A and B are shown apart, each in its own frame.
Chain A
Amino acid sequence: MSLVTTPVNEKFSDENFRHHLDAFWLNVPWVQELKENSWREYQELRPPVRTDEHWRFTDLRKLKLEGFSPSQEPEEAQKAAVLEQSNVVGSPAGRLVFGDNFLIDFDGVSGELAAKGVIWMPLSQAVVEHPELVQKYFLNEENRLGSEKLLALHNAFFHGGSFLYVPKGVEIEQPLCAYYWSIGCNEAIFPHTLLVVEDNAKVDFVDYYGSYGDDCCSTLSCGVGTIYAGQGAQVFRKIVQNFNEETLSFQLEANIASRDSSVKTIAVNLGSAYARLQNHTRIVGPGADVKMYGLTIAKGEQEFDQRTLQIHEAPHAVSDLLFKNVLLDDSRTIFSGLIKVDKDAQQTDAYQTNRNLLLSKSAEANSLPGLEIEANDVKCSHGATTGQVDENELFYLMARGIPRATAYELLVYGFFEEIVEKISNEDLRENVRLLVRKKFAQ
């Protein structure tokens, strides 16, 4: 580790990259090779341009990657401070806490689960201890919604990350949690969550992204998450993004739903100056049920950029997306979703809804809900609405003696609640409710 503490030239230079390889991946040739390729790819790929459909409406001026450098190990006091806050869920089945990519705390799964074959550990440990298993799934899934260059950067520089493997038929009741903290200023973190859930297994997972200081200078987070849901598997993943408001955040999700599986994701977006969420979900088996939910509260000059893709490759599957955005002040949101139904995916039911609540005159909501349908026996629809708090609803509440301000607040909380109530874990649900209301009321 001593190598890392020696100051290196800032930014993502070749020298830095060599340094990174030597420091973390000296003994893992297959990861080195993967990283070499990614590094080359990163250098070759051009940065996003305005005319690219995947970046339509994005304010590209905000995306300056130049100032950031690979992260350094945080100080002990900093580690202790973030560890104390790593508690959105009361009694998790397992927990991993990272600060600036470095492992701070690792709570393994119970002996009982370990005996059933559950593997839960930092990714860097898994690539060494379970190379075949990790290699089979690691970064093999397509993730093409415009952030290829950032994905390449992630692949070249990641070293923290969580790996969960749940064998066939094993059900884990309590959620597992991964916390990714951003600590050092002008540094980049590369969170990575890989969930491999075998046939008929069940798991509940929570990712939390946060910053050490509230008013820190800017940081970059470029995270990747993947869910492999085997046949009949049930996966429920919640992502809470609560970085400080100087952060540039990229969250690149790639999920696969096999036959009869259930894959549910909820993304709660609160922090960052610019936060991009990509969710690329492939439905490869009949009978699969995919739910994608999003809740965003945008304030100040925040920009939330959401790009989703629901690909139906197999027939008789269902997917449903609901992204709700609340906009205050001068904030912006972009929702760009696409449902793609392949020729063979007959009897598909696919839905996509984007609701934007505009609570300020200068906020801006962009909505690009798309459909590409190549099969004819399908039920597909999308809807997008943008509006304010309904005057009639306000009137109804006020007529019952509730002051206007309270009535207004109630209606806005009601708007959030449709997503919040879907969170099954009680602790998390209550914590998210608090976070959301705190942010709204600030």
Chain B
Amino acid sequence: MSTEAPEINIDRDKGDFSYAEDYAYDAGIGLNPGTIDYISKVKGEDAWVNEFRHKALKIFEDKPMPTHWASEDLNSIKFQDVRYYLSKGQKPSRTWDEVPDDVKQTFERLGIPEQERAFLAGVEAQFDSEAAYSRMKEEMEKLGVIFVGPHEGLHEHPEIFKRFFGKVIPIGDNKFSALNSACFSGGSFIYVPKGVKVAQPLQAYFRINAENFGQFERTLIIADEGAEITYMEGCTAPKFDTATLHSAVVELVALKGAKIQYITVQNWSNNVFNLVTKRGMAEEDAEIRWIDCNIGSRLTMKYPGVVLKGERARGEVLSIALANDGQHQDTGAKMIHAASNTTSNVISKSISIGQGRSTYRGQVHIPKRLSNCKNNTECDALLINANSRTDTYPAITVRGDHNSVQHEASVSKVSAEQIFYMQQRGLKEAQAMSLAVNGFVNDLVREFPMEYSVELKRLIDMEMEGSVG
């Protein structure tokens, strides 16, 4: 019996559809100061935002490509061929009826309306770079929760959002955060007032629909003292002939005692470069939790981080990565301890199928003068086929008093005994394999909200199709 198969044919047609492009605003191809002024003008932005964008563009241009440690594949991004801004010219809609028909059609296939009816407190669905649809249940508004796009956030609520905008992730954090800061459009700005616990998750769907069009969402979530919020983000994208670029920046701020949970299921099509910077700042007694699942894209580089700024703050990253043929999931986590008695936990599971490559990069930093900080990191990699590949590159720095850090990583394959056992009980080899893989990620999948874990299980089953046999 063999559990290896060189032949892998994955159905990559999910989300493989698009509609005619007729964009009311188009900043053209390529990035220059003119593009930025154009975006600012269309949006009617305040002068300081325009200034912020120009500063970011300069930093983006000055920073070298990080290929001394990252994949050489980054060099195949042609920044001058990308469209940096597109918009339907719509203001975010308040009701479903106001959403244009073709946009609705797209969302229909993504299943948004059902999900919303069934479950969601609010939908901020993004069609290309603008929010196409935005609504919140009335009780949310009554509670004082603000859920808007970045432009409205910065323009209408500067007193809330300006304070933290670009503070958790400064412009110059890396080349791609600078790119996003220069040309961001779309995304979510959320403020949860003191003590408000949002019982239901807020959700946004992102979608890329114009060829060669980079999507640069900007998300800023602020949970005020004692507030709690869960935010979910799922992605699908149509397939295109040339590579598309996606570079988001997500900043989370959890003030004293607040809790933020940010859930991502990323399933871009196989030609998308997904270069995302995500970081949260946790004040005293606050908790930030990233649940991150990467299934699609050509190259994903994403290392969600938590800066544990206040005493007893807690940070957590739970991540699942699935890399199939032609994919490189370069993911990881950063835990920056900046106060005593802080704890962090990282659990990362990756599955490489066919010639897929998954990489874990992690950073844990505990500086001097801190005491009683704890970090636990576990990275497990599963290799399905003989030519699958996995890498682990953690970096751990510890100083100070009574801090303890442990890191463990393991690499394994699905054991022949397990498959044999299940086959003895009448399962087909592929079913057995799928079951074993689902078992490998099961304890993490359980952490996802119900409909996501169902979707995830289905996605894993789909990816496993044809990987054995």
Max chain A CB contacts within 10 Å: which of B368, B388, B398? B398
CA of A367 to CA of B366 in the docked complex: distance in angstroms? Answer: 12
Quick one: CB contact mask for B363-392 with A, threshold 8 Å, 1 for yes?
A: 000001101000000000101111111111
Does any Cβ of B come within 8 Å of A111's Cβ?
A: no
Does any Cβ of B come within 8 Å of A386's Cβ?
A: yes
**Cβ of B413 and Cβ of A377 under 8 Å apart?**
yes
**Cβ of A373 and Cβ of B391 under 8 Å apart?**
yes
CA of A276 to CA of B413 in the docked complex: distance in angstroms? Answer: 35
Does any Cβ of A come within 8 Å of B48's Cβ?
A: no
Residue from A374, A380, A384 within 8 A of B394 (CB atoms): A384
**Cβ of B385 and Cβ of A364 under 8 Å apart?**
no
CB-defined contacts of B4 to chain A, threshold 8 Å? 376
CA of A417 to CA of B390 in the docked complex: distance in angstroms? Answer: 34
Given contacts A53-B68, A384-B405, A384-B407, contact A361 B386 (CB under 8 A): no
**Cβ of B397 and Cβ of A366 under 8 Å apart?**
yes
Quick one: CB contact mask for A313-356 with B, threshold 8 Å, 1 for yes?
A: 00000000000000000000000000000010010000000001
CA of A388 to CA of B373 in the docked complex: distance in angstroms? Answer: 12
CA of A291 to CA of B394 in the docked complex: distance in angstroms? Answer: 22
Number of contacting residues on A, CB 8 A?
37
**Which chain B residues numbered 409 to 467 have a C-beta less than 8 Å away from chain A?**
409-413
CB-defined contacts of B383 to chain A, threshold 8 Å? 373, 375-376, 378
Given contacts A361-B368, A386-B405, contact A375 B386 (CB under 8 A): yes
Does any Cβ of A come within 8 Å of B402's Cβ?
A: yes
CA of A419 to CA of B392 in the docked complex: distance in angstroms? Answer: 26
CB-defined contacts of B371 to chain A, threshold 8 Å? 361
Residue from B389, B390, B392 within 8 A of A382 (CB atoms): B392
**Cβ of B396 and Cβ of A366 under 8 Å apart?**
yes
| Chain A interface helix/strand/loop/mixed | strand
CB-defined contacts of A383 to chain B, threshold 8 Å? 406-409
CB-defined contacts of B397 to chain A, threshold 8 Å? 57, 364-367
Residue from A361, A369, A378 within 8 A of B409 (CB atoms): A369
Given contacts A57-B397, A386-B396, contact A369 B407 (CB under 8 A): yes
Does any Cβ of A come within 8 Å of B51's Cβ?
A: no
**Cβ of B391 and Cβ of A386 under 8 Å apart?**
no
Residue from B68, B393, B407, B411 within 8 A of A380 (CB atoms): B411
Closest to B378 in A: A383
Task: Give the distance to chain B from A386, nearest Cβ to Cβ, in Å.
Answer: 4
Does any Cβ of B come within 8 Å of A362's Cβ?
A: yes
CB-defined contacts of B389 to chain A, threshold 8 Å? 372-374
Does any Cβ of A come within 8 Å of B403's Cβ?
A: yes
CA of A386 to CA of B409 in the docked complex: distance in angstroms? Answer: 15
CA of A383 to CA of B408 in the docked complex: distance in angstroms? Answer: 4
Task: Give the distance to chain B from A308, nearest Cβ to Cβ, in Å.
Answer: 14
**Cβ of B399 and Cβ of A364 under 8 Å apart?**
yes
**Cβ of A367 and Cβ of B396 under 8 Å apart?**
yes
CA of A173 to CA of B390 in the docked complex: distance in angstroms? Answer: 42
CB-defined contacts of B407 to chain A, threshold 8 Å? 367, 369, 382-385
Given contacts A361-B368, A376-B386, A385-B405, contact A366 B395 (CB under 8 A): yes
Residue from A52, A372, A378, A386 within 8 A of B403 (CB atoms): A386
**Which chain B residues numbered 349 to 369 have a C-beta less than 8 Å away from chain A?**
368-369
**Cβ of A371 and Cβ of B391 under 8 Å apart?**
yes
CA of A382 to CA of B408 in the docked complex: distance in angstroms? Answer: 6
CB-defined contacts of B69 to chain A, threshold 8 Å? 53
**Cβ of B403 and Cβ of A380 under 8 Å apart?**
no
Task: Give the distance to chain A from B322, nearest Cβ to Cβ, in Å.
Answer: 15
Given contacts A378-B411, A382-B408, contact A371 B392 (CB under 8 A): yes
CA of A57 to CA of B389 in the docked complex: distance in angstroms? Answer: 27
CB-defined contacts of B391 to chain A, threshold 8 Å? 370-373
**Cβ of B394 and Cβ of A368 under 8 Å apart?**
yes
**Which chain B residues numbered 100 to 159 have a C-beta less than 8 Å away from chain A?**
none
CB-defined contacts of B395 to chain A, threshold 8 Å? 56-57, 366-368
Task: Give the distance to chain A from B68, nearest Cβ to Cβ, in Å.
Answer: 6
Closest to B398 in A: A386
Does any Cβ of A come within 8 Å of B73's Cβ?
A: no
**Cβ of A361 and Cβ of B410 under 8 Å apart?**
no
**Cβ of A373 and Cβ of B368 under 8 Å apart?**
no
**Cβ of B400 and Cβ of A365 under 8 Å apart?**
no
**Cβ of A370 and Cβ of B393 under 8 Å apart?**
yes
**Cβ of A364 and Cβ of B368 under 8 Å apart?**
yes
B-contacting residues of A (Cβ < 8 Å)?
Answer: 51-53, 56-57, 343, 346, 356, 358, 361-388
Q: 17 extra interchain contacts, Cβ-Cβ under 8 A, other than A57-B395, A343-B387, A361-B400?
A: A358-B398, A365-B397, A365-B399, A367-B394, A367-B396, A368-B396, A369-B394, A369-B407, A370-B391, A370-B392, A372-B391, A376-B383, A376-B384, A378-B413, A379-B412, A380-B411, A385-B405
Offer 12 A-B interface pairs, CB within 8 angstroms, sorted by A.
A361-B399, A364-B397, A367-B398, A368-B393, A375-B383, A376-B383, A376-B387, A376-B388, A380-B410, A381-B408, A382-B408, A388-B404
